[in-house]
Amino acid sequence: MNLNIRKAQSGFTLIELMVSMAIGLTLVLACSSVYSSLKTAVTLTQQMSEAQESLRASFNLIARSVRQAGGLAKETMDGKDRLRTTYDNIQTGDVVYSCLGNTRSNGTSDLFYLGDEGLYCNDGIGNQLIALSVEKMTVTPLGSNGVTVQLYIDGMPASYGSDGIAFTLAQRQKILDQNSN
């Protein structure tokens, strides 16, 4: 009778405990690996989304200013490129807006430049950050009718290289003037 009681009270063997611990540890490692991969993917997606938004804002404001401008100039300060768009073909009754939404008149200009936090615009009335995390801006004039602007934004995928994305813009007024001749 003593043997039956002992069998009923017996527990897991040491080998069974070690196997179950190994299985549990494997599951915990697999879950933490999947979690780490997901967290990295979410962080990368957020960075890319922020970079895309900064690029879109920069492009829209620079493009509008270039299209409306009568003159373009590349300036350099502290080794950094700057873009100045000057308004000189505004006719009576035309409403032209600066990069900050202020009404423009002939002889006024917008200045796009890099600051501590990103890309800024100064329209002579105000000075404002217009796009976060822009780390590099290169301006290449294309004669007197256009410009190529290359922006590198923190968070861009490495596949874009260290120079970022370039976009080429033409002055609408200059194109219209050429077509009318």
d(CA 12, CA 45): 47
d(CA 168, CA 146): 7
What are the pLDDT tens digits along the chain (181 aa)?
A: 555 555 656 788 889 899 999 999 999 999 999 999 999 889 888 888 888 888 888 899 999 999 888 889 999 999 999 999 999 888 888 888 899 999 989 999 999 999 988 999 999 999 999 988 888 999 999 887 889 999 998 877 777 777 888 888 988 754 444 444 4
**Length of the chain as a residue count:** 181
* pTM given for the model: 0.74
pLDDT tens, position by position, 133-157? 888 999 999 887 889 999 998 877 7
| Residue 174 pLDDT | 46
Q: Is 99 in contact with 65 (CB distance < 8 Å)? A: yes
Give the CA radius of gyration of the chain. 30
